[in-house]
Structure 1
C-alpha cells in the first residue's frame, strides 16, 4: 500500500514537471504577426527561455514602531476670490483679466493655489493671482482651491462672471 502511494506521488510529480517543461515555438502568421505556441506550426523555431527567477522572499519588518511625520500646517486656512467678484460683467474680454485670490493666513510651504476657468486648470502654484489674456464671450466660472501637501483641497471658492466683446 505504501509503495503504491509513493509510486503515485512520484508519477504525479513527473507529470506536473513535464507539463511545465513544454517547448515554446515562434512563427509568423499570414499577416506578418509574431505568434508563440506550444505546438510547432510550419516554419516555426523553438524559443530558448531563460531560467525562472526563484529569488527567496524578503522579510518585512514590523511597521508598528515607525513614527508618523508630524504636520504643523494649519488646515483651517481659507481661500477667497477677490476679483473679479461674483456676478461681475467684463465689458471687453479682449483685454487681459486678472484673477486675484487671498488666503486668511499665510500659505505654508507645502500648500498651493489652483485656479481654474470653466473646469480647466490655469495655475497650480503659490501665486495669489493669474492673468487671463483673452476671455471668450459668455458666462464663465472661476474656481480657486487651496491644496495641502497630500493633494486635498482645504478650501474652495468660485465666482460666476459674464464677458462681452466690443460691438455686442
Structure 2
C-alpha cells in the first residue's frame, strides 16, 4: 500500500535524500486533495526532485562584550607615583596655610598627562603639566588648619583619572590672630601686677633718704 502524505509534509519529503525516496508521485484523490507518495496512485504524475543540498549548521560564535580583548589588561602607566614630601602624619606649621608637595613619577610624566592634587578627596586646580620630568613641586595655599588627606592623580587630555597615588595625612598648624604673642608681634606678653592690701603704702625706695 502506498504511503499517502498530506500536502503539509511535502517540504519534509523533498528534504529526504534521493536514496531514501528515489521517485515522488502526486495525484488528486476523490475528495480533491493533493496527494504525495513514494508509490504511484491512480492518475499519478511524477514529481521532479532536484539534487538535495546539504546545509551545515552555523558555527557557534562567542559574543564578546564591548571592550573585551584577549590581551591582558594594561598595568599602571607609572611604576612610581608618590608624594615624597611632606611625609605621612607630619605636623606642619604655616601661619599662611601654605603647603608644598614634592612628587616623584617613574617614568617621567608624559607630555599628554597632567598631575593634579587631591585635597580631602576633592580635586583641586593645582596641577603640573608633563614634560618628561620625574620630580614635581605643587603648591597649595590658604589651607585651613587641622588634619588633611593629600594625594596626587594623573589625568589625560580629556580629564580622565588614569592613576592615583597613595594618600598621606598632614596636620597643618596655623597661629590664630587672636592669640597673644602671635607671629609678627615683637612685644612680649605683660605679667599683671600682684594686688596690694588696702591702706598699705607702697614700699619706699632703699637708700639714704
Q: TM-score, normalised by structure 2?
A: 0.39
Query: Which has the bigger relative contact order, CA under 8 A and spacing at least 6?
Result: 1
